[in-house]
Chain A
Amino acid sequence: MTKRPTGPASSNRKVLARHTTTLALATALTTATALGAYAQDISFWTQPQGDLLAYQDLFDELTSEFRDESGINVSVEVINWSVAFNTWLTVAQGGAAPDCADMYWLHSFSGIGAGRFGPMPITEYRDRWPTLEADFYEGALEDVHRNGEFYGIPWRVDIRPMMYRTDFLAEAGIDAPPDNWKEIVEQGLALTERDANGNVTRWGFAPGANNNPGQTLMPYYWQAGGLMMSEDGRTATIDNEAMRTTLKFMQDLVQVHKITSPEVFEKSADPLADFTSGSVAIIGSTNNSWPSQFDRDYAELEGTWALEINPAGPTGERDSFSGAGYWGVLYGSSDVEACLDWIEFLSQPEHMERISEVSGAASPRRSVMSSALWTQRPWQEVMAETLNYGHTSQHPSAVWNAIASPEPGAVLYDLVYNTVIGGADIDAAVTEAQARMQAELDRASGN
C-alpha cells in the first residue's frame, strides 16, 4: 500500500494543479466565446402560411441546409398572424426587431419607420438578382419598391380570381361563369333564390370574400379604369367617373337587383361558410387561400366549384387584387450580408417551390407557377393566369393602410358602405371621400 505524500511539497503540487485546471478552463471558455462571436447568427421572423407545423418543419429544414452551405445560423421565429400587425407596428417605431424577416405593407411600415426603423432598402444589393423582372410577376415586384428603392424579394402573392359554384350554374343552365359586369348581373339574377316568404336562400353574387369594403372596391374600380392616387402618393384621384360607375354597379347589386347580401360588409358575415353551404353562388374576388383549403378540408365539394379570371369591367380591364409578402432586411440588422445570403438562398426557384407547396400560397416567381406543382389542378392554372392581371393593392403612401382599413371611419370603408349598403348619394359621397383622402395623404406627406 502506497502512502500518499503529505507536507508542503504535496500542498504546492495541489495548488499548481488547481491553477492549471482553472487556466485551462478559462482558456477553453475564452476560445469558445471567441468562436461564438465569429459564428454568424441572424434572426428571422415570419408569419405562417398553410399548416403551422408543416411550415415550421420546412423552415427547420431550410435553415439547416443553409447552415451547411454557408455556416450561417438562422434563428427563425414564427409570428402568429393575430399579433403580426401590432408586432410590425412596434418594430416600425423602434421596438425589438429581427435582422431580416418576411414582411408586408411596405409603404406603411416604411413610412412609420421614416428611415430609422423597420424595412431597410437594399437597392445596392439588387444585382444579386440580375433577372428579377423576368423571374417575377410585375404586380408582386411593385410591392417591394418604394420611392425608387428596392426592399426585398416577394415570396407569396395574394391574388384573387373569381370563384363560383359549378353545380348551381349547371342547374340554372349557365354554360360559363360571367365574363363581364353585365353578365354578373344576368347570372346573379338567375342564381339568386328565395323561399316562400321572400327570404333569400341563395345570393347570386358576392363581390368579395372578406368584409373589407375598401379591398372589395379596388379590383372593380381598377376594372373601370380608375386609380387611387398619383404615382408620387401625394394626390388623391378618386373623384372621377370610374369611381361613380363602380359604386353605382355595386350599389345596384344590393339595392336594385338584390343579388348581393346587404350584410357582406358586416363583421358577422362569413363568406367561406356562405360559399360552402351554398348560400352564395359566385364570389367576384375570392380569397387566394380558399382553393387549397377546399382541396384539403372540403373534399365533399369536389367538382362543385371552380376558379375563373375576374370578369372584365366597362373598359375591358380584368385587374385582380394582388398583394405580396416579401423577405427583406431591417434597420439595425447585425449582419446585412448574412441576411442577403439567406434571402438569396430562399429565393432560389427550388426553395420557393418547396415553400409554395407547404404554404399553399401562390408564388410570385413565374417558374414556380409554371412548374408541375402549380399545373396539377385546373384552379391552379387559373390562379397562375390571373397573376398576369394582378394589380398591386398597395399604394405609394404611408397612410394607405389607414385609408383602406376595414374599420368604420376609414375613407374607403365609409365611401363604399354608405353608398352601397346605406344607399347614400354617390356624387356627394365621392366628393367628400376625395377631400378626406387628400387630407390623409397631406398628413402622411408632412403637409
Chain B
Amino acid sequence: MTRQKYLFCYLMVAPAMLITAALGIYPMLFSLWMSFVEYDLLRINEFGTPFVGLDNYVEVFSDPRFVQTLFNTIIFTILAVAATLGFGLLLSQVLNINYRGRTALRMLVCVPWFVPPAVASAIWMWLLNTDRSPINFLLQDFGLITSNVRWLTDSATWGPFSIPMMSIVAVRVWNGLPFAVIFLLAALQSIPRSLYEAAEVDGASLMQKFWYVTLPMLRPVLAILITLLVIGGLGSFEINYIMTGGGPQNLTNIMAVYSYQQAFSFFRFDLASASSGVIFLMTGFISIFYLRSQLKGVA
C-alpha cells in the first residue's frame, strides 16, 4: 500500500518535474557548460566549442565594465531590497489597520504589480525624460529647481550612487512593492492579537510593540521575502535594459544586462554564460543560506 502511495505521488509530481528539468535545469546546466568552453558564434562553425577551463571567467573579470557591473548589481540589489522592505513594512502596517476605505487603498497599492516591468519602464521613461518630465515641471513650479534634473542621463556620481541608479531603483521598488506588501500583510494578519494585548498590559509603546512583537513574528516571512527579493534583484533585467541600457557610462548596468549584451550584441555566448554563472553562484550562495536556516527551523 505504501509503495502504491509513493508511486502515485511520484506520478503526480512527474509532469512538473519533467517540465522543470526541461525548461529550467537543462538550460541552466547547458549555460554553465557554455561558460567553460569557447562558444563564439562567429567561430563556432570553424573551431567548434573547445574546452577552455576558467578562461571565460578570467576574461569577464578582467573587463573593467564587468567589475563595475558586478558592483552596480550589488548596490542596486541592496538599495532595492532595503527600500522595498522599508516601504513594505510601513504600508502593510497601514493596510492592516481597520478604517474606511482600506479595501480601496489595498487595491491601489497593488496596481503597480499589474503593470509588467516593460510597460512600467516605458511609462517611467516618459516621466523621467529630462526635457519633458512632468516631475521636473512640478519641481520647477514649486521653485525647488531651476534647471531640469537629468533623471536617467546625469553622469555625476557620489561614491557608488548616481541619479540614474537611484531613479532605476525607485522604479524597481515601485513595481515590486505590492509583492512585498501582500506577503507582509498576510503575515501580519496571522499574528495573534493576544500578543499585542499582553504587550499593552506590560506598558509597551507603539515602537516597542513593533520591535518586540511584530518583527520577531514576521521573521520567517521576512527571511523568505528577503531571499526572493535578493534573487530577483541580482537577476533583474527589463527595467535597466529598457530605461537606460546600462548607461549613462555604465552607471546603471547590471549583470543580466551585461550578459544579454555579450550574447546578442557581441555574439559571445561563452562570456555571457560566464557572467550568468556569476549570478548563479551569488543566488545559489544566498539560497543555500536560506535553505540551511529553514532546515534548522524544521529540526
Contact = CB atoms under 8 A, between A and B. Distances in A.
A266 B152 contact: yes
In order of increasing CB-CB distance, the 4 nearest A-B pairs are: A114-B45, A405-B265, A267-B245, A407-B265
Interface stretch (B26-34, B183-191, B248-256): B248-256
Interface string B229-258: 000000000000011111111100100000
B46 A114 contact: yes
B148 to A, nearest CB: 6
A89 interface: yes
Contact of B266 (A89, A277, A405, A417): A405
A409 interface: yes
A422 interface: yes
Interface stretch (A70-78, A249-257, A268-276, A357-365): A268-276
B130 interface: yes
B146 A197 contact: yes
A158 to B, nearest CB: 19
Contact of A444 (B42, B147, B246): B42
A410 B46 CA distance: 24
Interface in A79-126: 85-86, 89, 92-93, 111-116
Question: Of residues A199, A405, A408, A422, which shows the largest number of chain B Cβ atoms within 10 Å of its Cβ?
Answer: A408
A113 B267 CA distance: 13
Interface in B200-233: none
Given A263-B150, A263-B153, A273 B243 contact: no
Contact of B249 (A92, A399, A407, A422): A422
Q: How large is the interface on A (under 10, 10 to 19, 20 to 34, 35 or more residues)?
A: 35 or more
A163 to B, nearest CB: 19
Interface of A: 85-86, 89, 92-93, 111-116, 197-199, 262-263, 265-268, 270, 273-274, 277, 279, 398-399, 402, 405-410, 417, 421-422, 443-444, 446
B128 interface: yes
A398 B246 CA distance: 25
A408 B247 contact: yes
Contact of A408 (B41, B45, B148, B246): B246
B49 interface: no
B102 interface: no
A197 B140 CA distance: 11
A274 B126 CA distance: 12
Contacts of B46: 114, 446
Nearest to B45: A114
A93 B146 contact: no
Main secondary structure on B side of the interface with A: loop
B41 A85 contact: no
A443 B46 CA distance: 11
A266 B244 contact: yes
A405 B263 CA distance: 12
A402 B266 contact: yes
B267 A86 contact: no
Contacts of B131: 274, 279
B266 A409 contact: yes
B246 to A, nearest CB: 6
Given A408-B65, A422-B249, A444-B42, 16 more contacts: A112-B267, A115-B45, A116-B45, A262-B153, A266-B248, A270-B129, A273-B132, A277-B132, A398-B42, A399-B42, A405-B265, A406-B245, A407-B245, A407-B266, A408-B249, A408-B261
Contacts of B65: 408-409
B42 A443 contact: yes
Interface string B125-145: 100111110000000000000
B3 to A, nearest CB: 44
Given A270-B129, A274-B131, A422-B249, A409 B150 contact: no
Given A263-B150, A446-B47, A407 B261 contact: yes
Nearest to A198: B147
A443 to B, nearest CB: 6
22 contacts: A89-B41, A92-B41, A197-B147, A263-B130, A265-B247, A266-B153, A267-B243, A267-B244, A267-B245, A267-B247, A268-B129, A268-B243, A399-B42, A402-B42, A402-B267, A405-B265, A407-B246, A407-B266, A408-B250, A422-B249, A443-B42, A446-B47
A268 B244 contact: yes
B153 to A, nearest CB: 5
Contacts of B40: 443
Given A263-B130, A273-B132, A399 B267 contact: yes
Nearest to A262: B153
B195 to A, nearest CB: 49
Contacts of B266: 402, 405, 407, 409-410
A406 B265 CA distance: 8
B21 to A, nearest CB: 22
B112 to A, nearest CB: 20
Contacts of B41: 89, 92-93, 112
